[in-house]
Amino acid sequence: MTLRDDAAQLLPELIALRRRLHRMPEAGFHLPQTQDAVREALAGLDLEITTGEDLSSVTAVLRGPADGPAVLLRGDMDALEIEEQTGLEYASTNGAMHACGHDLHVAGLVGAARLLAARRHSIAGSVVFMFQPGEEAGGGAPLMIRDGVLDAAGSRVEAAYGIHVGPGERGMFQLKPGTIMAGANVLRVTVHGRGGHGSRPHQAVDPVPVVAELVLALQSWVTRRVSVFDPVVLSVTKLHAGEIVNVIPEDAGFAATLRNLSEVSLMQIQAELPPLIERIAAAHGCRADVELTVGYPVTVNSVPETEAATSVLRDLFGEKRVETIAAPWMASEDFSFVLREVPGAFLFLCATPPELAGGEIPMNHSPRAVFDDAVLGDQAAALAALALRHVGTDRAEG
């Protein structure tokens, strides 16, 4: 039996697990029900399983009968605090939602564990399965790295892989060597003026028009100061000022998300934005507090591993189902922390239900986002095949 044949037999079980997870999403770092579901799904596979002490992680190690390298496969587990609006029979009703497809990531990784456990006899080395909380909440990956996930097999993994579902023609794999996703940073600004009566602005120092000017100035900074060949995306997503309509507030402010594709552009952001904001505020007689928080780094696929992964996937699924994307996504991903430590590849699997094709397709993080769990068998087979490239003694299986 080939990987794809075995994965097809597993598909009903994986769909059931995915829908169970979809009904009970948990956000953040503490995911007790999800953790229990993962341990239950892995029961009986003769894996070395450990769990995190201060986060609901699960690390499982599969050891083959012969010595060899270790490879890591990752699936993130957390949901978003979004009220689901899909109308699915198995929709969440607890105020959270798997709007980014992490329920599929968990089920697909469980499937890969089952496929590889059934092939233990042909494994020379170890496979580490990284079930990670806190991807959306701000960095579960570095916490698991701190706790030793990269060395869970006894030696450092030589490569790491992850698959993320998203919109697009169902069953298409997409990947790219080099930078594939952006770094993510947060800008928070508070402008301090002097409050007063709304009818007498000349006797106050109004911070509100200063904030309005800053929002526009930042857009000009992006287009006039940043190279189009190393782009930055800056979106102001929060504004705050006073509460009373006839009172000029003491303070006003905003928050923005900043995405970058290189360390060079990040250094430019850090060097130029705080003084620009402070000087514009000062020109109006105000003072600005600027907080720039560097978040996820840029996600960079190693060229050799991406090229090899492309070959593995084309052998498994055919040339037409694997494509190299031309440009990075400006979204971010904390698998970037793993790829800073070891070579590997992060790739996308398109999972839009065919009945939605041709219409308006909700994106990841939408309360109406829908993913077709028919892709789970191929997701599991792909992860297993990528692992077997490193630890398989018989690599000709399709």
CATH number at residue 347: 3.40.630.10
Q: Is residue 327 part of a domain?
A: yes
Tokens read off for 15: 């769909």
pLDDT at 397: 47
Q: Is residue 104 part of a domain?
A: yes
Do 228 and 282 belong together in one domain?
A: yes
Q: State which residues form the domain around 371.
A: 3-180+298-391
Confidence of residue 357 (pLDDT cuts 50, 70, 90): confident
pLDDT at 148: 96
pLDDT at 358: 79
Domain boundary among 233, 268, 294: 294
Domain boundary among 294, 319, 349: 294
Task: Quote the CA–CA distance of 397 and 382 in Å, as a whole number.
Answer: 12
Do 97 and 127 belong together in one domain?
A: yes
Tokens read off for 352: 């839009």
Q: Is residue 317 part of a domain?
A: yes
For residue 73, the cross-strand partners are: 129, 161
Q: What angle do CA 171, 173, 176 make, to 5 degrees?
A: 165
Do 25 and 140 belong together in one domain?
A: yes
Do 148 and 204 belong together in one domain?
A: no
Confidence of residue 396 (pLDDT cuts 50, 70, 90): very low
Do 55 and 152 belong together in one domain?
A: yes
CATH for 278: 3.30.70.360
pLDDT at 1: 73
pLDDT at 290: 98
Average pLDDT over residues 68-90: 97
Provide CB contacts within 8 A for 283, sequence distance 6+. Answer: none
Confidence of residue 138 (pLDDT cuts 50, 70, 90): confident
| pLDDT digits 0-9 by tens, 220-250 | 999 999 999 999 999 999 999 999 999 999 9
Q: Is residue 398 part of a domain?
A: no
Provide CB contacts within 8 A for 353, sequence distance 6+. Answer: 170, 370, 371, 372
Do 287 and 339 belong together in one domain?
A: no
Do 49 and 61 belong together in one domain?
A: yes
Q: Is residue 48 part of a domain?
A: yes
Helix (H) or strand (E) holding 8, with range, is helix 3-23
Q: Is residue 240 part of a domain?
A: yes
Domain boundary among 294, 317, 344: 294
Do 283 and 307 belong together in one domain?
A: no
pLDDT at 54: 85
pLDDT at 89: 96
Does residue 292 sit in helix, strand or coil?
Answer: strand
Tokens read off for 129: 């399965």
Do 250 and 356 belong together in one domain?
A: no
Residue with the two structure tokens 């191929």: 378
Q: Is residue 198 part of a domain?
A: yes
Q: How many CA atoms lie within 13 A of 5 on its CB side?
A: 5
Do 219 and 234 belong together in one domain?
A: yes
Do 36 and 128 belong together in one domain?
A: yes
Distance of alpha carbon 353 from its chain centroid, rounded?
21
Task: Quote the CA–CA distance of 178 and 143 in Å, as a whole number.
Answer: 24
Do 189 and 149 belong together in one domain?
A: no
Q: Is residue 221 part of a domain?
A: yes
Task: Quote the CA–CA distance of 83 and 97 in Å, as a whole number.
Answer: 6
pLDDT at 39: 97
* Ranges assigned E (strand) in the chain: 48-51, 58-63, 66-76, 124-132, 159-169, 173-175, 178-181, 183-192, 196-197, 232-240, 247-248, 251-260, 287-294, 299-301, 322-324, 344-352
Mean predicted lDDT score pLDDT of the chain: 96
pLDDT at 359: 81
Number of domains, the chain = 2
Q: What angle do CA 217, 221, 222 make, to 5 degrees?
A: 120
pLDDT at 356: 87
Q: What angle do CA 174, 16, 164 make, to 5 degrees?
A: 20
Average pLDDT over residues 163-177: 97
Choice between 333 and 360, residue whose per-residue pLDDT is larger: 333
332 burial type by CB count under 10 A (0-12 exposed, 13-18 middle, 19+ buried): buried
Average pLDDT over residues 8-25: 97
Average pLDDT over residues 259-283: 97
| pLDDT digits 0-9 by tens, 382-392 | 999 999 999 99
Contact assessment for residue 184 and residue 96, using Cβ atoms and an 8 Å cutoff: no
- Which 8-state DSSP code applies to residue 5? H
What percent of the chain clears pLDDT 90, i.e. is strictly above it?
A: 95
For residue 299, the cross-strand partners are: 181
pLDDT at 398: 45
